Structure 1
Amino acid sequence: MKRWLSNAEVSLGNHSDRLNAINIFPVADGDTGTNLYLTLRAASRAIADVDTADIGELLAIAGRAAMEDAKGNSGTLLSVFLTAMAEPLQGSTRLSAPLLATALHRAQLRSWSVLSDPVPGTMLSVLEEAARAAMDEEAAQSGDDSNVGLAATLRAVMNAALAAVVNTELQLDALTQARVVDAGGVGFLLVLDALRASALGEELQEELLDGLHGYDVQAPHIHSTMPRMEGVEVMCTIMLSPLDAATLRLQLDEVGDSVIMSAVNAVGEGYRWRVHVHTPDAGTAIDLLRTVGEPMNLTVTELSADGHETNEIISEIHEAHEV
């Protein structure tokens, strides 16, 4: 698990510029590669010195760290994937085909559920096909926990995930028109390849992304030619009861889109939640957050600013909305 996340961090770092270049959905802000890398880096560093043989416990720690420091849509979904995948692995000391299939299936269900409006043709579709491939493998169905069964399952997962990435271009009109595949889907494919390589003691596949539309080194930065998006991305962590969480989700759906809400961990009778929303008015979204709790680790990012956080906006909002 440590090797997996470390290798995935390196792989995402090496590919971040190209992922940014083809990032045009849900907004063309050119930061998917950076967001995935920074989120995965938080996960990897959180477990670097953790001493446990429980792979579920280890991944849960990584997932929570990623969730607390998640960046953007893609980073938030990646952190949800890690935390959900950890649940069926609790108490296990090694990965097997049946465990992998169950973990991917759990992650798929959780990832689709945290979004108010999940869209095919994204990282979600790649995860769905990867989970289906794992569940369909003979080793997973028969309970074969051998290394041979795990290897066959991981390779089936990679084949399905790669096909799903290629298919994203046909699932979203924006990608079809730009003739590129989904940046988040490609990033997730790299994470899965790092898992395959780490579990089997193999190398990352250097040729994995060859031929993907928009991914050639000489291809232009597609996102820079897209219309600029107005509005901001608001993210925070907040303590909420289940009822307040459901209410807040409905309210955020009314003032923005790309709403993601995922529970980080239980605290007393409530939960720490990671909240993400794109909205034309950050002040309104923050006011809604403050009606149910006190947002922590609050960030506001211009959607048209190539992912660079604007502290001036946050300062202005704090001044305008001081209690």
Structure 2
Amino acid sequence: MSRRILITGGAGFLGSYLSEQLLAQGNEILCVDNFLTGTRSNIEHLAGHPRFQFMRHDVSVPLYAEVDEIYNLACPASPVHYQHDPMQTTKTSVIGAINMLELADRMKAKVLQSSTSEVYGDPLVHPQRESYWGNVNPIGIRACYDEGKRCAETLFFDYHRQYKVAIKVVRIFNTYGPRMHPQDGRVVSNFIMQALRGETITIFGDGLQTRSFCYRDDLVEAMIRMMATDGEVIGPVNIGNPGEFTIRALAEMVIDLTGSHSKIVYYPRPQDDPMQRRPDISKAREILRWEPRVPLREGLVKTIDYFAGLLSGGHAIAAE
């Protein structure tokens, strides 16, 4: 049965691929984005699709639309972007969540919140399970995002308890893949762009801090599975790849895969930057029957090809 689905942040690298997958299932898509970090090129290949509609809109302003489901992906997700305008980041996370919950309440629609592993802060528990409450600095430079997302989770659960809104909450760990913004400041895109240009690869810290990297296709599949669960499943559910790599190992892998002669240089680690990050995905395995399938090297090859196409001036690659 076809559904009318709203995707906020729909022109981002995750939102645009989610749009494609849900269109392929026969649904109608209302894609909403203000192009703060998303780009028109990510969705231009969908513009002529009869079941795809785009609306330029900021989720911190109320939205009125008839929809059956809402995927709330709107919010800058990299430190460079969310620290550029911390006030707007907080508004997007908090007021945007309220507006999507209000819309879901009016329409009796299901609404999925794309939360984040940043709710765990610089974790004192490893790996991170959903029952862990986190270690977050509420007044640090990352708090606009970390606390904004934590507050959004609070709102989702309170709307569910008080107004019976049908909610789904997933906590997304580091994700990468084609259509990432080349200047988004995330470690994968940074390293690939620096390597392809033959520039020095910059690591902030000693490079021994760890991250877990989930390929875009795997992540979107998990989100769709979460939305399809029955009303008893609300989350939060960790979504990510439990494979754990040091930042130094990632840099060396990117240099190897690109054939670059780039050298690695080290700078001081930013304030509140987590030392360890790895999801416990036991819940996702049990509830969603899901786990990631794309190994890091394989996903990096596809992502490198995408960025190489951008640098060479190719346009078709943006639509894969």
Same fold (TM over 0.5): no
The TM-score normalised by the length of structure 2 is: 0.28
Q: Normalising by structure 1, what TM-score?
A: 0.28
